């Protein structure tokens, strides 16, 4: 694919190589900003740029000091714990609510499907700043500002659309005669769900749960509006770090988060293939 | 189902069909259908209620806040009542209104609500904050006739416009926030007029927000189209590897990506370093790439690019390569075949990608706030500013409502053109 076809005219050849070059440039644009951060986080000096010593690959130019700094600071540890706690709670809630709703939405008898789907997806579409402002007014009225519960509920609402979408996608082409067959064989609805439906939609459920987790883990606008200092999360701490005292510690956090996103991406990809295999959809 | 049962339920020769238990088949079927519908609804109901309470009701509350105006009506009930009959034609209201105002301000000061009242009036007419707080401090000791006393205290009370402002803000439901959001205000006679030149910021910012979103969308399309095309024609084992380069940024935290653009773009940053090192610019001539609109557009293009590539790719993947070959065998040049055969087939993907990127771009907050500086402000930044700094929540809600309205229209277009069900992730 990298070579132009043998019969190509010179102009087509030039065009072909230009196309390859453009694509390479775009890939570089996509990935370079993430790659650049990683070596910089090992900088032994508090700079955000490569020092000459670093370019010469001298040993002293690199250090773990920003990671040590990260580890030694109470606020970052607390943010980590908060982020995980909030993300896990809202993921569990969002996955349960979203999966059940997706099962209902995928039934052939569902009335007003498009309209209800539109409502359920809306937290993903409405700009976060508007959601945050609305939730702030709402929580101020019912006294949920500055509470873990408030943030968990808000993040759950933001995460459910992803679960609904991914689970609905795995249910496309779902053969309903299988559940009927199981019921005829005497399985009660709970057994049908756990033995027949669940294994088939599991990849979608896990993918949705991961989306919900990442949404909550990465969310900062709602947290900025309704959280107090007690509920400091990693993104909010990064936000504060970038705005106030930008130090390479941020780069160390960023590197760890990139490693985390590689893990998430790999999981999703493995799940997608497994789902396709299970449902008998051959990859295109 | 015994014989007896079937004979019992057997229909009269010309009657409607019935089920085993003797009910007409039609109604029994309708009932079964209804039961299934109810069951499906019951599954969806918990989430629907949850979203209704934790998401839709806050949005409704915000929309209500944009027209709700309780502060003046609550704190100046006597004044509002006294001003009922007064219609302002360049004249001051009578002594009763002045007396009512004195009583209201004295009470507001006792209740410690005068600060909010003063701030609310100040949004409308600059300078009223100090007038109100100063008058409030002395109101207790003022003696009749209040007209002279108040005017002696502060010249603003001799201005009919001040009174017109109070009367206008005394209405509980008001459109002033929306007027302010489109750079308009009421003048003394209650007509809608443009804000003075220096205070006109929002229309300009709406235009800037739209403009930046359009540029980001076009940039994403220009960069995303070739890449999506390459991914769709490569054999799966290569395209899967290259897909990682698209998916990794997609999965990486927004703040990480924004941080890396700050690192790259700053004046002492890597891009400037490379330019200096390669001799394109001198060390003194480093380019300002950050804290302006350009930096915001670059960072936002990077962040939203995967949202363009993924829908484009999924559409391009379904276009059979045989179409292009057919066009070529009919004598079309590659260029012509691309323009007349391939491009029209990708339109659903282009539409989906552009709408998605535009919808996301128009409401962006984090990146413009961190990279944008003064020039790169978008409407979200003003909403956040009024929510957190100036505390003019009514105006923030009105700006939010206008933005929401725009996004919902785009969402509706998206659902008509693409279909919400086709919204795919990853």
Residue B195 in any domain: the answer is: no
Nearest by CB: B254 against A48, A134, A218? A218
Residue A275 in any domain: the answer is: no
Q: pLDDT at position A2, please?
A: 65
Q: pLDDT at position A1, please?
A: 57
**CB < 8 Å to B221, chain A:** none
For chain B, residues with pLDDT lower than 50 are: 1-9, 426
Distance in Å, alpha carbon of B254 to nearest chain A alpha carbon:
7
Count structural domains, chain B.
3
Domain that holds residue A238: 73-246
Backbone dihedral angles phi then psi of residue A110, each to the nearest 5 degrees: -70, 120
Distance in Å, alpha carbon of B367 to nearest chain A alpha carbon:
10
B282-289 contact pairs (CB < 8 A, 24+) = B289/B265
Domain with residue B325: its CATH number is: 1.10.3720.10
Residue B275 in any domain: the answer is: yes
Backbone dihedral angles phi then psi of residue B171, each to the nearest 5 degrees: -75, 135
Angle at which helices B25-51 and A113-125 cross, to 10°: 10
Which is higher by pLDDT, A139 or B17?
A139
Nearest by CB: B400 against A118, A130, A221? A130
What percent of chain A is modeled with pLDDT above 70?
96
ipTM: 0.87
Residue B188 in any domain: the answer is: no
Q: CA nearest A167: which of A101, A265, A263? A: A101
Spatial separation of the C-alpha atoms in residues A261 and B306, rounded to whole Å: 15
**CB contact (8 A) between residue B40 and residue A107:** yes
Q: What is the mean pLDDT of residues A127-151?
A: 93
Q: Say whether both B376 and B406 belong to one domain.
A: yes
Residue A163 in any domain: the answer is: yes
Q: Say whether both B381 and B415 belong to one domain.
A: yes
Q: Say whether both B118 and B257 belong to one domain.
A: no
Q: Say whether both B259 and B392 belong to one domain.
A: yes
Q: What is the mean pLDDT of residues A168-197?
A: 87
Residue B250 in any domain: the answer is: yes
Q: pLDDT at position B7, please?
A: 46
**Mean confidence (pLDDT) of chain A:** 87
Q: Say whether both B94 and B21 belong to one domain.
A: no
Residue B319 in any domain: the answer is: yes
Domain that holds residue B86: 70-174
Q: What is the mean pLDDT of residues A194-209?
A: 88
Residue B28 in any domain: the answer is: yes
**CB contact (8 A) between residue B233 and residue A1:** yes
> Is some CB atom of chain A closer than 8 A to the CB atom of B255?
yes
Q: Say whether both B102 and B251 belong to one domain.
A: no
Residue A1 in any domain: the answer is: no
Q: pLDDT at position B180, please?
A: 87
Spatial separation of the C-alpha atoms in residues A270 and A195, rounded to whole Å: 22
> Is some CB atom of chain A closer than 8 A to the CB atom of B267?
no
**CB contact (8 A) between residue A134 and residue B235:** no
Q: pLDDT at position A220, please?
A: 93
Residue A52 in any domain: the answer is: no
Say if residue A284's pLDDT is above 70: no
Count structural domains, chain A.
1
**CB < 8 Å to A134, chain B:** 55, 58-62, 400
Q: pLDDT at position A147, please?
A: 92
Domain with residue A80: its CATH number is: 1.10.3720.10
Residue B265: enclosing H or E segment and its boundaries? helix B254-265
Say if residue A89's pLDDT is above 50: yes
Q: Say whether both B95 and B25 belong to one domain.
A: no
């Amino acid at each position: 694919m990298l070579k132009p076809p043998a019969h190509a005219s010179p102009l087509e050849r030039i065009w072909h190589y230009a196309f390859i070059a453009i694509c390479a440039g775009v890939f570089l644009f996509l990935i370079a900003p993430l790659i650049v951060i990683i070596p910089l986080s090992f900088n032994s000096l508090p700079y955000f740029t490569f020092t000459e010593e670093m370019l010469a690959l001298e040993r002293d130019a690199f250090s773990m000091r920003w990671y040590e700094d990260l580890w030694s600071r109470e606020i970052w540890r607390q943010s980590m714990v908060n982020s995980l706690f909030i993300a896990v709670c809202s993921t569990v809630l969002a996955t349960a609510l979203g999966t059940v709703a997706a099962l209902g939405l995928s039934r052939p008898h569902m009335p007003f499907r498009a309209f209800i789907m539109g409502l359920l997806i809306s937290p993903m579409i409405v700009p976060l700043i508007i959601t945050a402002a609305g939730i702030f007014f709402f929580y101020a009225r019912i006294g949920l500002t500055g509470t873990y519960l408030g943030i968990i509920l808000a993040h759950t609402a933001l995460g459910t659309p992803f679960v609904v979408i991914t689970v609905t996608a795995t249910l496309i082409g779902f053969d309903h005669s299988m559940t009927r067959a199981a019921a005829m064989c005497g399985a009660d609805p709970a057994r049908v769900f756990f033995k027949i439906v669940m294994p088939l939609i599991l990849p979608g459920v896990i993918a949705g749960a991961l989306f919900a987790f990442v949404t909550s883990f990465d969310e900062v606008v709602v947290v900025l509006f309704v959280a107090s200092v007690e509920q400091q999360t990693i993104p909010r701490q990064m936000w504060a770090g970038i705005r106030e005292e930008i130090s390479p510690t941020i780069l160390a956090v960023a590197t760890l988060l990139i490693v985390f996103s590689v893990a998430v991406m790999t999981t999703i990809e493995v799940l997608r293939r497994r789902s396709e295999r299970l449902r008998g959809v051959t990859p295109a | 189902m015994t014989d007896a049962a079937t004979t019992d339920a057997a229909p009269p020769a010309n009657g409607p069909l019935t089920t085993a238990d003797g009910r007409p088949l039609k109604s029994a079927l309708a009932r079964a259908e209804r039961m299934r519908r109810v069951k499906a609804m019951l599954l969806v109901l918990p989430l629907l209620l949850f979203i209704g309470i934790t998401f839709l009701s806050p949005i409704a509350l915000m929309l209500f806040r944009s027209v709700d105006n309780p502060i003046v009506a609550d704190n100046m009930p006597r004044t509002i009542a006294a001003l009922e009959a007064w219609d302002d034609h360049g004249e001051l209201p009578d002594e009763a209104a002045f007396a009512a105002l004195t009583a209201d301000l004295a009470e507001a000061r006792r209740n410690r609500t005068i600060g909010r009242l003063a701030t609310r009036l100040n949004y409308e007419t600059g300078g009223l904050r100090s007038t109100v707080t100063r008058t409030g401090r002395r109101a207790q000791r003022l003696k009749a006739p209040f007209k002279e006393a108040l005017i002696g205290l502060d010249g603003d009370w001799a201005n009919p416009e001040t009174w017109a402002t109070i009367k206008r803000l005394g209405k509980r439901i008001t459109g002033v926030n929306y007027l302010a959001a489109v750079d308009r205000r009421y003048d003394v006679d209650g007509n809608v007029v443009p804000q003075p030149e220096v205070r006109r910021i929002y229309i300009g910012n709406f235009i800037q927000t739209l403009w930046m979103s359009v540029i980001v969308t076009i940039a994403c399309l220009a960069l995303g189209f070739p890449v999506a095309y390459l991914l769709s024609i490569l054999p799966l084992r290569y395209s899967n590897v290259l897909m990682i380069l698209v998916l990794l940024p997609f999965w990486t935290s927004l703040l990480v990506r924004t941080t890396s653009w700050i690192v790259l773009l700053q004046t002492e940053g890597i891009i400037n370093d490379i330019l200096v090192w390669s001799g394109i610019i001198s060390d003194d001539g480093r380019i300002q790439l950050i804290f302006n609109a350009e930096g915001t557009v670059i960072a936002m293009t990077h962040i939203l690019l995967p949202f363009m590539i993924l829908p484009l790719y999924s559409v391009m993947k379904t276009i059979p390569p045989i179409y292009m070959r057919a066009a070529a065998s009919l004598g079309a040049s590659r260029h012509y075949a691309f323009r007349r055969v391939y491009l029209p087939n990708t339109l659903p993907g282009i539409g989906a990608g552009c709408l998605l990127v535009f919808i996301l771009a128009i409401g962006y907050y984090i990146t413009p706030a961190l990279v944008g500086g003064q020039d790169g402000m978008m409407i979200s930044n003003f909403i956040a500013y009024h929510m957190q700094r100036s505390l003019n929540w009514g105006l923030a809600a009105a700006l939010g409502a206008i933005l929401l309205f725009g996004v919902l229209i785009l969402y509706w277009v998206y659902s008509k053109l693409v279909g919400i069900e086709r919204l795919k992730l990853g």
